[in-house]
Structure 1
Amino acid sequence: MTVTVIVPTYKPDGKFFQLMNMLKRQTCKADHILIMNTEERYWKNSFMEGLDNWEVHHLSRAAFDHGKTRGEGAKLADTEILVYFTQDAVPADEKLLENLLKPFHNPQVGAAYARQLPAEDCKIIERYTRSFNYPDTSRIKTKKDIPELGIKTYFCSNVCAAYRRGVYEEMGGFVTRTIFNEDMIMAAQMIQAGYGVAYAAEARVVHSHNYGYMQQLRRNFDLAVSQEDHPEIFAAISSESEGIRLVKSTAAYLIKQGKPWLIPDLLLSSGFKYLGYKAGRNYKHLPLSWVHRLTMNPAYWENR
């Protein structure tokens, strides 16, 4: 299978450099690497030293969109598989691409996404969240899994994900105007069309964040906005029950680890997430000035 790696960047830093270094070492090499870079002044060609078959395309910050920018990258590719990374996702080993491509030997699979491992500085609650959302067992999710998995049936993450280009194009590509969740929207469309989305647990990237309370609120606000804007996908499936299950499971884990004093932090963090989610679901009723304070992506609203 031929592969194009596509990475949107903004102020690329040391983690992006590590990502590029690990791409050099993969057992399965990318045929082409496309960088969709926001603001040319932050770019250095030295990031790509030692790599062949790469090109960079620059855009302004105002022109960036989670779906459209990744879609523009797809239009520049002519390979069978499109692999997306975020600039802060570092392959955990040399077999990431090899393992990410294995599910595509099944012709039913339209997309596959990698397991995300916590970084060394990751706090215990976020570390557990990673293991909850990214277990060590692979599976292929299809429409028949909705009664069991609910919203997680549609889960997919462009932190590290691959798409069969033919199926991706059949779905019309990523939505061209979205604040967030372009990956999940595409996965949901594939599943509703009868394709499978594979979780490839053997394909591993190191990626985690230690978000503060307000960052959690803003991230969940944007997530909920994307769900509100796509009722054809998300209206019939609740996200809230999965959130409650995560809180209960994390609290039990903290008790088992002998760290019950972290439960108030868990509850506060979860409360901020929930407030952000509910605000995002009701963003159409909020003053625009509030929306600008609640979002992680103010440029999206300026262009809307």
Structure 2
Amino acid sequence: MSVTVIIPTYKPGDKFLRLMEGLKKQTLPPDKILIMNTEKKFWKDSVLRGMEQAEVIHISKEEFDHGRTRAQAAEMADSEFLIYFTQDAVPADTCTIENLLKPFRDPEVGAVYGRQLPDKDCRLIERYTRSFNYPEKSRRKTRKDIPILGIKTFFCSNVCAAYRKEAYEKMGGFTFPTIFNEDMIMAGNLIKAGYAVFYAADAQVIHSHNYTWLQQFKRNFDLAVSQADHPEIFKDVPSEGEGIRLVKSTCRYLIKKGRPWLFPQLVFSSAFKFLGYRMGKNYRKLPRRLVMKFTMSPDYWEKKN
């Protein structure tokens, strides 16, 4: 199996260094590493010492786009498989790449995504959200699962994901311009074209965020914008039901852990997520000044208009 690892970066820090160290130790090392770095002034060549297979492509902030930047890197790769990481995703062990690629033994699998484990500083509610979205058990998903899993059928994350390049190219590559969610759009296209998407619970990275309520609002706003812009994927599989299921499940978890005093935090966090999502779904009805306040990606809107 020939493999190219692709990592978009912007002001890479300690976690990126840990990611690069983790890639050095993999049981199945990548043939090539393409780093799509935004703004050369924030880059230090010293981070690539001892990694001859790594190449850095510098782009400007104006050129960056979640879909296009990843698609540009894919065009530079001549390998059979593409693996994407974000700069803050740290391999949990030496088998992350090997375990990402194992499911491709099934010729129907077009994409595989890994399990995201919480970091040491991760708060309790977010720690549970990780386990809810990334459970211990692996799963193969096809269009037959849509009536059962709903939008979760299309769930995939480029924090840690691999694609069969042939299937990726048949789908036309990542959609752009994209505010967010290029991974789920690709997974949705693959599922609808008859491919399978595989969740590999044994392909693990350490990755979590302690978002504020406002950041959660903005993130869900952008998520919903991407869904509103791609009704061909998301129209018939609404997300609200999955959100309600997460809230109920988290309540049970907090009771089990004896932490009922965290209920207000869960309520407010969930309310901000829901409001952000509803605003994003209806962004076309909002004045531009509100869109710019609500989004986590103002550069996207400036380029769009």
Give the secondary structure class of the aligned counterpart of 1:63: coil
Counterpart in the other structure of 2:250: 250
SS of corresponding position for 1:158: coil
Read off the aligned partner of 1:236 and give its amino acid letter.
D
Task: Name the structure 2 match of 1:95.
Answer: 95
How far apart are the structure 2 equivalents of 1:234 and 1:109? 21
- Matches of 2:62 and 2:250, distance apart in 1: 38
User: 1:54-203 alignment to 2 at 5 Å?
Assistant: 54-203=54-203
Question: Deviation string for 1:102-128 (max 9, x for gaps)?
Answer: 000000000000000000000000000
- Tell me if 1:37 matches 2:34: no
Q: For 2:242, give the aligned amino acid.
A: E
- Please list the CA deviations of residues 187-228 of structure 1 after superposition, one character each: whole Å capped at 9, or x if unmatched: 000000000000000000000000000000000000000000
Aligned residues: 304
**What is the one-letter code of the residue matched to 1:50?**
G
TM-score normalized by the length of structure 1:
1.00
Q: What residue number does 2:19 align with?
A: 19
Q: Secondary structure at the match of 1:232?
A: helix
Q: Deviations over 1:76-122 (max 9, x none)?
A: 00000000000000000000000000000000000000000000000
Instruction: Supply the distance in 2 between the matched residues of 1:96 and 1:250 (Cα, whole angstroms).
Output: 28
Query: TM-score under structure 2 normalisation?
Result: 0.99
Deviation at 1:140, TM superposition (A): 0.8
Q: Which amino acid aligns with 1:198?
A: F
SS state at 1:199 partner:
strand
Q: Could you tell me how far apart the structure 2 residues matched to 1:203 and 1:52 are? A: 25
Q: CA offset at residue 139 of structure 1? A: 1.1
Q: What's the CA shift for 1:285?
A: 0.6
For 2:16 and 2:120, the matched residues in 1 are separated by 17
Deviation, 1:50, is 1.5
Report how far residue 176 of structure 1 moved. Answer: 1.7
Take 2:41 and 2:271, find their aligned partners in 1: how far apart are those partners? 39
Shift of the alpha carbon at 1:48? 1.0
Letter in 1 for 2:29: K
CA distance in 2, matches of 1:49, 1:203: 26
Give the Å deviation of 1:53: 1.1
CA distance in structure 2 between the partners assigned to 1:47 and 1:161 by the alignment: 23
How far the C-alpha of 1:11 sits from its partner, in A, is 0.1
* CA RMSD after TM alignment: 0.4
What's the offset of the Cα at 1:49?
A: 1.3
Give aligned-pair identity as a percent: 64
SS in 2 for 1:52: coil
Unpaired stretches in structure 2, ≥5 consecutive residues: none
Q: Which runs of 5+ in 1 are unaligned?
A: none
Instruction: Give the equivalent residue in structure 2 for 1:52.
Output: 52
Q: Secondary structure at the match of 1:62?
A: coil
| Secondary structure of residue in 2 paired with 1:149 | helix
What is the distance in 1 between the residues matched to 2:141 and 2:47? 36
Aligned to 2:302: 302
SS in 1 for 2:102: helix
| Partner-residue secondary structure (3-state), 2:62 | helix
1:230-269 correspondence runs (5 A): 230-269=230-269
The CA distance in 1 between the partners of 2:63 and 2:294, in whole Å, is 21
Q: Tell me the distance in 2 between the aligned counterparts of 1:26 and 1:50.
A: 14
Separation (CA, whole Å) in 2 of partners of 1:46 and 1:254: 45
* Counterpart Cα distance in 2 of 1:46 and 1:109: 37
**Cα deviation, residue 41, structure 1:** 0.2
Q: Distance in 1 between matches of 2:204 and 2:238?
A: 28
Give the 3-state SS of the residue equivalent to 2:224 in structure 1.
helix
- Using the TM superposition, give the Cα deviation of residue 47 of structure 1 relative to its aligned residue in structure 2, in angstroms: 1.0
